[in-house]
Chains A and B, each alone.
Chain A
């Protein structure tokens, strides 16, 4: 992977200036020379650098309010340090374990059921004899991806109300008539299934491209050896897209604790916080609505750190085991 090399080089490059004292001097000299030679490039980069500084690194500094009792009137620097007070109060709070559990349950269910769906869809589409029919299937299954999240969630809420058509359909199979999103046991299935519905088609594109990249000679050779359709899927198609599957799986596992709040906030309600409330939606309610700035920042920072560690370790692990990694 090109990016992997990039990143490895970047690490060795940044580590380079520490080499020797005599080298350092020439490094500094060439850096000055570099500035002089590429003044223009550095100059036009200033807005970009300022953007990252102002809107990415400032908030990282701003996260120190997790260790303070932040009061907007006193500002970040002027607020009192309180150490790990907010972290301790979060870890020992009643909400801690339920939030961790809900976040993990939601995201692992999403992974377990949502991840294989596009792989299977891509293989099935690939097996179609008629290419024009395959195109129709693709166009139709991509469609939900293009509908905005708010509209998707609006449809979910409407269709699963006690008089919605999905509810109606399920009552035919014995489910009691109910507003499904008021039932805490149904939140995770609704979230996961609607996600599969919206993103499987779109997610299959990348696997279809990988399938298209498999050498057709392999299939012909297998056919001559007497392999049937299923054996070809099992022994050629699947191994052919395995690298893609692995790399996408790594990405998903690395993000397992970083569930975004948006969809949850759109479809949950106070009646089902027991199962529906995840870390990010809790941060939103405590912080933005409750203006409990420092506490919610601490919760968010804890979450960011866990995410960061997860991404790094999953990536390292996969590099050791499979020689495939994001960088």
Chain B
């Protein structure tokens, strides 16, 4: 390697420093949340509230105790877990079947069916007709309203179709000669060959259900059925003071603890994702590539 010029050396040093700044900016907001959540509520309000924090102000688990006492965190987790446990398998099976059929080249109306499905990516009836349609199906108020109308994401279906198309035709033909049915071919022969893609899609759908709140806001009306994100919205953004009355008697005290409680709530609702993140990161990255190459 040749020697670096002066300009290049300076650039490289600045580059390293600049990207270090990016690291800090990326993770500091989350760190702040942790620091605030573990702070003593009154101390946080007195001295921490409007400053940058580099460690918790005092140390207290009071905010977490309050969060865990709140039943809606648990019902929220319950609903979200139900949606994940039921929704993701439905997503995967539907997506797999649709993608498999659309990947079969012997099908004459394959092009037409693909077009029918692709069209929905670029044109939709809009928010209101979709809302009224779900109500027409009698799903209003039920968690199924968050699962069935979103059984397939067309983009994911295309990713899956691409994966099936790459499986050599000879495998299907050989299985057919042995008298295998299409479903047997799909689940016994094809699926084992596209496991990495399926893993990526499980992740995509799971993240979708985990993050989604808008549909829940439209269709779920009982608080005890709210999924986690809707509960979070209420507690963090809409400044609900559901916590305060249980905890202390004086109003000022309420005010104090309600601030740190918000942060503790964020921690409780985000830790599962952050804990899984290091293990899942590579699947996500793989997923982005799968989607990008043939999207």
Contacts and interface: CB of A to CB of B under 8 A. Distances in A.
A33 to B, nearest CB: 9
Interface in A29-80: 30-31, 34, 37-38, 40-42, 44-45, 47-49, 51-52, 54-63, 65, 72
Given A9-B111, A55-B149, A228-B5, A62 B292 contact: no
B26 A51 contact: no
Contact of B236 (A56, A121, A151, A284): A151
A127 B12 contact: yes
Main secondary structure of the interface of B (DSSP, over half): helix
Contacts of B213: 148-150, 262
A164 B106 CA distance: 62
A280 B115 contact: no
Contacts of B128: 65, 283, 287-288, 293, 296-297, 300
B116 A52 contact: yes
Interface residues of A, number: 102
B281 A142 contact: yes
Main secondary structure of the interface of A (DSSP, over half): helix
B2 to A, nearest CB: 7
6 contacts: A3-B295, A44-B97, A159-B29, A206-B288, A262-B213, A300-B126
Interface of A: 1-3, 6-7, 9-11, 13-14, 30-31, 34, 37-38, 40-42, 44-45, 47-49, 51-52, 54-63, 65, 72, 121, 124-125, 127-129, 133, 136-137, 139-144, 146-151, 153-155, 157-159, 163-165, 167-169, 197, 201-202, 205-206, 209, 223, 228-230, 261-262, 265-267, 280, 283-284, 287-288, 293, 296-297, 300-301, 303-304, 307-308, 311-312, 327
Interface of B: 2, 4-5, 7-8, 11-12, 15-16, 18-19, 22-23, 25-27, 29-30, 32-33, 49-53, 94, 97-98, 101, 104, 106-109, 111-118, 120, 122-134, 136-137, 148-149, 151-152, 158, 162, 181-183, 186, 207, 210-211, 213-214, 218, 229-230, 232-233, 236-237, 262-263, 266, 269-270, 273-274, 277-278, 281, 284-285, 288-289, 292, 294-295
